[in-house]
Amino acid sequence: MLATMKVEATLQARMVSTRFPGKVMQKIGVTSATELLLKCLNLSKSLDEIIVAVPLGDLDKLLVRYLVALAFNVFQGNETDVLKRYL
């Protein structure tokens, strides 16, 4: 019997940025950049799960609430180490 592999996409998103703070919540038309990207990923027939990796910082709480309201899986992790959030 062949084992099936689960295919996941992990998207890193954070509110803090030195060049463009809050860019993940910026609107493209009427939809946020993050929501637009997630909706496109959701159309993929190859993905079993989409996870958004978000830092544990206070400024990211708004982003987490927004993503949960959109019914996406959120993982909160290390604020300064992106690789740890992915792992």
5 pLDDT band, cuts 50/70/90, is: confident
Residues in the chain: 87
2 pLDDT band, cuts 50/70/90, is: low
CB count in 10 Å sphere of residue 33:
14
Q: What is the pLDDT of the chain when averaged over all its residues?
A: 90
Residue 48 inside a domain? The answer is yes
pTM for the complete prediction? 0.86
| d(C-alpha 13, C-alpha 16), whole Å | 9
Instruction: Tell me the CA end-to-end span of the chain in Å, nearest whole number.
Output: 29
1 pLDDT band, cuts 50/70/90, is: low
Residue 2 inside a domain? The answer is no
Residue 62 inside a domain? The answer is yes
Based on the structure, what is the number of domains in the chain? 1
Q: How, if at all, do strands 49-55 and 8-12 pair?
A: parallel
Across the range 11-28, mean pLDDT stands at 90
pLDDT: which is higher, 73 or 57? 73
| d(C-alpha 24, C-alpha 5), whole Å | 30
Domain residues for 23? Answer: 8-86
